[in-house]
């Protein structure tokens, strides 16, 4: 089948090759405009799209997979899949949600290839948690009468503790907090991406924050003993 392309290229007619448009795409081109440009065969649309979303996707995948090396491999596969499926993209759906959904599915595939364990190895479950880190009882907040350990930590140390505590969260809490706080996605977009009701997203964000606080205070307490 490829001989048709060889003949076409030999005579200077190659509709299968990308080309640069005579007028470059504007810097403010929207995602849909870039997708349309790529569908018309403009190569610079691909470069612009990759530049625009690779940092965000890499950040998201790094948080989700907790491994920057694997995140880079997955990101590579994501872009290959995007290029294959771009013609099937529905313009009525936000492009960022469609893109992150592809990344998420690839990350889930990777999770399935790994162990099924979702909790960080070595971190014991608290009495009121399941092995998945889900809270069994209503929120048990730290009493506010005494100063919280968080109050005693300097800001830099707080960030360090936060980073360590964040990595200890179960994957589904890490994911939703990352999408909410790092990717600037609206709650409705997150719900669409995760294919869960909006109320579930809100609950996960709320519980994730509470669990993160527990992890952080647990790390902070152990440091002050």
Partner 1 sequence: MNDHDRIRAALAGVAAGTLAPDDNLRAHLAACSSCAAELERFRRLAVAVERLPQAELSPAALGRMKRLAIARREAVLEHRWNRLVLTGLILYGWALFAVIAPLVPVGVDWVSQRLAMPWFAVVALALGLWWSFCLVVGLALLPVLRAQSFDLEEKVL
> In degrees rounded to 5, what are phi and psi of residue 42?
-90, 120
- 137 φ/ψ sector (left φ>0, alpha ψ -120 to 50, else beta): beta
Judged by CB, which is closer to partner 1: 196, or 209? 209
For residues 215 and 117, what is the distance between their CA atoms, to the nearest angstrom?
18
Choose among 93, 75, 86, 81: nearest CA to 37: 86
Does position 181 bind partner 1 by CB under 8 A? Answer: yes
H/E segment holding residue 84: helix 68-85
d(CA 215, CA 188): 28
Q: Could you tell me the smallest distance in angstroms from the CB atom of residue 17 to partner 1?
A: 6
* Footprint (CB under 8 A) of partner 1, residues 133-152: 138-139, 141, 144-145, 148, 150-151
**Window of 20-28, 112-120, 123-131, 197-205 that interacts with partner 1 by CB under 8 A:** 197-205
**Sequence-ordered list of residues with C-beta below 8 angstroms from that of 112, at least 6 positions apart, any chain:** none
Output the CA angle 190-213-65, nearest 5 degrees: 50
Min. distance of Cβ 3 from partner 1 in angstroms?
5
Nearer to partner 1, 3 or 116 (CB): 3
Give the binding-site size for partner 1 (rule: CB under 8 A).
64
Contacts with partner 1 in 47-86 (CB under 8 A)? 47, 49-51, 54-55, 58-59, 62-63, 68, 71-72, 75-76, 79-80, 82-84, 86
Contacting residue, 95, 180, 192, 193, with partner 1 by CB under 8 A: 180
Q: How many residues does the chain have?
A: 225
Q: What is the torsion angle, in degrees rounded to the nearest 10, for the CA atoms of residue 164, residue 166, residue 170 and residue 173?
A: 180
- Residues forming the site for partner 1 (CB under 8 A): 1-6, 8, 15-18, 38, 41, 43, 46-47, 49-51, 54-55, 58-59, 62-63, 68, 71-72, 75-76, 79-80, 82-84, 86, 138-139, 141, 144-145, 148, 150-151, 158-159, 162-163, 166, 177, 180-182, 187, 201-202, 205-207, 209-210, 212-213, 216
């Amino acid at each position: 089948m490829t001989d048709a392309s060889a003949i076409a290229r030999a005579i200077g007619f190659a509709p299968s090759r990308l080309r640069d448009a005579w007028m470059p795409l504007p810097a403010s081109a929207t995602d849909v405009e870039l997708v349309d440009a790529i569908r018309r065969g403009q190569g610079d649309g691909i470069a612009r799209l990759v530049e625009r979303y690779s940092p965000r996707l890499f950040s998201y995948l790094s948080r989700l997979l907790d491994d920057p090396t694997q995140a880079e491999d997955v990101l590579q596969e994501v872009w290959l899949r995007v290029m294959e499926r771009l013609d099937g993209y529905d313009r009525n759906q936000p492009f960022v949600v469609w893109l992150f959904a592809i990344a998420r599915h690839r990350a889930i595939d990777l999770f399935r290839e790994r162990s099924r364990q979702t909790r960080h190895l070595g971190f014991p479950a608290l009495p009121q948690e399941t092995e998945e880190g889900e809270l069994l009882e209503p929120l048990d907040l730290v009493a506010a009468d005494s100063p919280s350990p968080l109050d005693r930590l300097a800001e830099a140390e707080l960030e360090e503790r936060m980073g360590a505590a964040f990595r200890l969260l179960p994957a589904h809490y890490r994911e939703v907090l990352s999408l909410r706080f790092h990717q600037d996605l609206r709650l409705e977009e997150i719900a669409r991406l995760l294919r869960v009701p909006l109320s579930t997203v809100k609950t996960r964000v709320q519980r994730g924050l509470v669990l993160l606080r527990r992890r952080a205070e647990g790390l902070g307490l152990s440091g002050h003993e």
